[in-house]
Copies of this chain bind each other. A is one copy, B any other.
Amino acid sequence: MKKLKRSGRLVDMTNFLLNHPNQLIPLHHFAERYAAARSSISEDLAIVKEIFESEQMGYLTTVPGVSGGVRYEPAVSDGEAETLVDRLCRRLEEPDRLLPGGYLYMMDILGQPGWLNEIGRLLAGIYRGENIDVVMTMATKGIPLAYAVAACVDAPICIARRDHRVTEGSVVSINYVSGSANRVQTMSLARRSIPEGSNVLIVDDFMKGGGTARGMSELLTEVNARLAGIAVLVEAHRRERLIDDYISLVRLDEVNEKEKQIKATPGNYTKYLFS
């Protein structure tokens, strides 16, 4: 790479860090990349850090020592989180999302990079420092959401399925009771998609009774992996739930099919905000 001035280095460095979230980048990587002294690189990084933190784009952590370096961890500010969740609530309250059975059409949000990029950074910020090895989700609609989180924490995603059609070698299956349908169902997972001992974050788009999330955490036990947490975009309002420990961004307080009324409020995530 040709020698760059500070202004050029700052642009290139920002780009590099954003494209390598949650990875420890040794300082000599930048020193070699720009043929610059380590002291210049340290000054550059101080500028990047100041802006990342004053604009609350996430964290830039410097790890000192020979095996040290710099790590960018995506997050959003509390204010952005509040605005984002508020916008989500207003969108979810649009009456034309109502589907028969009291379900809501959410694919316009669940497939939209503009939303998912921000939601991914928000959830990654909440689980910052948890050393997530794998992000797990249930097919199908929540996969882009899970991937958006996985991209921010730099962990692979693993997809469980509600059938036996996993064609990827040895499969682990369990039976579970869906809290909403109240009947026994099966979920399966390719064994090699989660290495033993992995620390796994479960991400899903929607939670009713919590049966699916509990089933996924049981699958983790089967493959000797650890549960790092459960995060859902939207939870339905329930008096009882099969799991207690989860984070939701939005809670549906009311879905009235007859009156075509939906009421959405912020979920319990506010308890976990980073500031």
Interface residues, chain A, CB within 8 Å of chain B? Answer: 1-2, 4, 6-8, 10-12, 14-15, 18-19, 47-48, 50-52, 54-55, 57, 99, 101, 103, 105, 107-108, 111-114, 116-117, 139-141, 143-144, 147-148, 150-151, 154-159, 161, 167-169, 190, 192-193
Which residue in chain B gives the minimum CB-CB distance to A113?
A: B151
Evaluate contact between A57 and B15: CB separation under 8 angstroms.
yes
- Among B8, B48, B54, point to the contact of A50 (Cβ < 8 A): B8
Residues on B with C-beta less than 8 A from A154 are: 113-114
User: Cβ of A155: which chain B residues have Cβ within 8 Å of it?
Assistant: 113
Expressed in whole angstroms, the Cα–Cα distance for A154 and B112 within the complex equals 8
Most B CB within 10 A of own CB, among A14, A113, A116, A158: A113
CB distance from A11 to the nearest CB of B (A): 4
B8→A11 contact, CB < 8 A? no
For the complex, give the distance between the alpha carbons of A216 and B15 in Å: 35
Q: Give the most central of A54, A157, A193: most B CB within 10 Å.
A: A157
Taking a contact as CB atoms closer than 8 A, the residue among B107, B117, B157 that contacts A19 in the complex is: B117
Determine whether the beta carbon of A113 is less than 8 Å from that of B150.
yes
The residue in chain B whose Cβ has the minimal distance to the Cβ of A192 is B105
Which residues of chain B come closer than 8 Å to A169, judged between CB atoms?
A: 99, 105
With A and B bound together, what is the CA distance between A116 and B51 in angstroms?
Answer: 28
Pairwise interchain contact B144-A157, C-beta atoms closer than 8 A: yes
Minimum distance in angstroms from A268 CB to a CB of chain B: 26
Q: Knowing A112-B156, A157-B111, A169-B99 touch, does A117 contact B151 (C-beta < 8 A)?
A: yes
What residues of chain B lie closer than 8 Å to A158, measured between beta carbons?
107, 111
Which B-chain residue is minimally distant from A114 (CB atoms)? B154
Q: Which of A11, A12, A190 has the most CB of B within 10 A?
A: A11
- Bound-complex Cα distance A50 to B47 (A): 20
CA–CA, A167 and B144, complex, Å: 18
Which one of B15, B19, B140 lies within 8 Å of A143 (CB-CB)? B140
Report B-chain residues with C-beta under 8 Å of the C-beta of A143.
140, 143-144, 147
B105 and A1 form a contact (CB under 8 A)? no
List, in ascending order, chain B residues with CB within 8 A of A144's CB. Answer: 143-144, 147, 150, 157
Given the interface pairs A15-B14, A113-B154, A140-B140, the reply to whether A103 lies near B6 with Cβ below 8 Å is: no
Q: Is the CB of B55 within 8 A of A1?
A: yes
Please tell me if the beta carbons of A4 and B157 are within 8 angstroms of each other in the complex. no
Q: Kindly identify which residue among B12, B15, B168 contacts A105, using a CB–CB cutoff of 8 Å.
A: B168
Q: Which residues of B contact A12 (CB under 8 A)?
A: 51, 55
Smallest CB separation, A255 vs chain B (Å): 15
A94 vs chain B, min Cβ distance (A): 12
| Docked CA distance A173–B8 (Å) | 52
